[in-house]
Amino acid sequence: MTTDKNWPKVAVVGAGAVGGYFGGLLARAGAPVTMIGRPAFVEAVRKSGLRLDTVQFQETVHPAASTELSDTAGADYVLFCVKTTDTALVSKELAKYISPSTVVLSLQNGVNNAEEIRKASGIEAISTVVYVAASAPSPGTVKHLGRGDLVIGPHSPKVEQTAEFFSRAKLPCRISDNIDGELWTKLVWNCALNAVSGLGRVTYGEIIASEDAKRVVEAVVYEVLAVAKKKGIQPPGLEDPKTAIAGAFLIGQQMSGTRSSTAQDMARGKRTEIDSLNGYIARLGAELGVPVPVNHTLYTLVKLQEANF
């Protein structure tokens, strides 16, 4: 694998499973990629490269790797993949090094990351909906279990150019003019499955195999859609809650062997992104006067466990 000077330069900030997967595939396509990550990750990549264990292929790529945000300088694209708990701090620091023309894409869970990035740093990030099942079982290794596509928007010259860039690297990227709704569609699935997987220490397939767990999933979906409706958000294709519930079950079947990112964090004793998922719905529900007892319960139980990490 060699980089091509005709490719835009890419920096991945927060090179974990998601950043490792998309950054790794960009590097595989020939783009010059610098991955900003933790010392163990950087050491592994510098020594042996980044191992991509995907459902289509197994290959090692050799992007640059650094622990320093200053090495984002000169990047044309930044894939912003840090945990939502670190969004404000990292984006404020990132703004010191990138140029006004740098395109920053938020590849994060939750629905308001672009707004949080702008508030903290002044960076006008592009909201990006990420659909990929991936994990980082060891430093320098990404295990890909399914999907690997992106949704960005709304239409603009910068967004269209970005979609073409991803497509050139054979990474599916769709543009939507209802990007808020698309973000909420992902939020529905995350709220429905992530905390249950983490608290139950189970895969998505095990959730779908349990009638009691499926009832919890159903209750979560109804609550999230009620909050979305009150807020004036329409997740595309989820006008009927039954369709949304069927979608959650389908994801559980398609990614049956996957444990949620919340479950992976909890297993490692790390803080989760629950505040941006069920916790966000709990807060917004209270603000809008929409009862969301199941989301609040899941959020509270995860936070209680986090307090012991």
* Catalytic positions, written as ranges: 186
Distance of alpha carbon 101 from alpha carbon 75, whole angstroms: 9
Q: Which residues contact 260 (CB under 8 A, 6 or more apart)?
A: 190, 193, 194, 195, 197, 198, 204
Short-list 70, 61, 67, CA closest to 140: 61
Burial of 101 (0-12, 13-18, 19+ CB in 10 A): exposed
CB 219 within 8 A of CB 298: no
First-to-final CA distance of the chain: 41
Distance CA 197, CA 299 (A): 13
The continuous run of DSSP H or E covering 157 comes out as helix 157-168
Q: In this structure, what token pair is assigned to residue 173?
A: 């990227």
Work out the angle at residue 248's Cα, subtended by the Cα atoms of residues 190 and 225, and round it to the nearest 5 degrees: 70
- Residue 105 three-state SS: strand
Question: CB–CB of 253/205 below 8 Å?
Answer: yes
